[in-house]
Amino acid sequence: MIIEQLDEKFTLHRLWEQSDPEAYLDAIAPRIRGLANGGHHVINAALLDRLPALEIISCFGVGYDHVDAAYAGEKGVIVTNTPDVLTDEVADAAVGLLIATLRQFPQADRFVREGKWRQGAFPLTASLRERTIGMVGLGRIGLAIAHRLEAFGVRVIYHSRTPKHGVGYTHYPSLIDMASDADVLIVTTPGGAGTQHLIDAQVLEALGPQGVLINIARGSVVDEPALIDALQNRTILTAGLDVFEDEPNVPQALTDMDHAVLLPHVGSGSVHTRNAMGQLVIDNLTSWFSNKGPLTPVVETPYPSKND
């Protein structure tokens, strides 16, 4: 449906269908004015330099750490993403992952399927009750998760670089301090250089042996070897992970562990929400090429630009 709409409105070049994408790109590069970037294809300075007529990159997803948006901005190329339309879906998924991880629902499902119930009851699990939840990032998705958690009757605190106006949750300028006071960390920051390995061995140690890490943000935000160490040595209780450092390659050390819950980056992955995201990719391109500006430009490529 998304491809069909793009095909109807624009001259669409399907790079992903080419047997030799590099040669194809060389041939069409001077004519390319817009990019629709589905998935997490890297758009770096080298690629941007190959596209002299490029005006806009419309990204599918709210995270755009795979796009060199700062360089695009320098070249006057607009980058757009798909915020808001996926917030509720990802927040639902985060809360589902939190409960599934604490109450071991995937493990319990395996227990039933493997016929183990006949030999005895499933062991008692950890609980969400009486836990303090530390939100790492309290933007669109973090706030939507925090609102949901209020209904669960748990305390919410948060860490971000700047305190958020108009929220009643306690702000921690120091992540280590928050990790010491929290029983669960839920990571909802962007990926990229600014948050690389924000969750490191020190933070995990501060979280402590009953601590739970939920990562619905980007794999790069967590030092994966440090997390594996913490899980193997039981210096934290468990983790629920939707994202990994080198997707789709999940380290065997994680898949070997039964006390973590692993999802294949499905935070926004419903038909409803992926359609809404796809529509916003198209709407950004349509609006731009109708001279109405981009609908959802990222901060690195504001519109109108500061020089306009």
Residue 131 falls in the annotated catalytic set: no
Write the binding mask 152 to 191 for ligand NAP: x where contact by CB under 6 A, - elsewhere. -------xxxx-------------------------xxxx
Task: Name residue 239's beta-bridge partners.
Answer: 213, 260
Q: Which is nearer to ligand NAP, 51 or 224 (CB)?
A: 224
Minimum distance from CB of 208 to ligand NAP (Å)? 20
Residue 274 falls in the annotated catalytic set: no
Q: Which is nearer to ligand NAP, 191 or 297 (CB)?
A: 191
Q: Which is nearer to ligand NAP, 116 or 272 (CB)?
A: 272
Residue 41 falls in the annotated catalytic set: no
Distance CA(281)–CA(304), nearest Å, equals 19
Q: Is 267 in the site for ligand NAP (CB under 6 A)?
A: yes
For ligand NAP, which residue has the nearest CB? Answer: 139
**304 preceded by a cis bond (ω within 30 of 0):** yes
CA 66 → CA 37, 195, 264, distances in Å? 10, 14, 18
Binding to ligand NAP (CB under 6 A): which residues in 107-136? none
Catalytic residue among 140, 197, 259, 265: 265
Minimum distance from CB of 87 to ligand NAP (Å)? 6
Q: Which segment (17-25, 115-123, 138-146, 289-297) binds ligand NAP by CB under 6 A? A: 138-146
User: Taking each helix axis from N to C terminus, what angle separates 271-289 and 2-9, rounded to the nearest 10 degrees?
Assistant: 10
Binding to ligand NAP (CB under 6 A): which residues in 213-252? 216-218, 242-243
| DSSP secondary structure letter of residue 222 | B
Q: If you compute the radius of gyration of the chain from its CA atoms, what whole number of angstroms results?
A: 21
Distance CA(209)–CA(183), nearest Å, equals 9
The owner of tokens 């999802």 is 263
With beta carbons less than 8 A apart as the criterion, state whether 53 and 31 touch.
Answer: yes
Locate 113 and state its tokens. Answer: 């399927």
Q: Which segment (14-22, 52-60, 110-118, 139-147) binds ligand NAP by CB under 6 A? A: 139-147
Task: Supply the DSSP string of 111-172, one letter for each residue.
Answer: HHHTTGGGGSPPPP---STTPEEEEE--SHHHHHHHHHHHHTT-EEEEE-SSPPTT--SEE-
Residues that bind ligand NAP (CB under 6 A): 62-63, 83, 86, 90, 137-142, 159-162, 188-191, 194-195, 198, 216-218, 242-243, 265, 267-268
Which residues are part of the catalytic machinery? 218, 247, 265
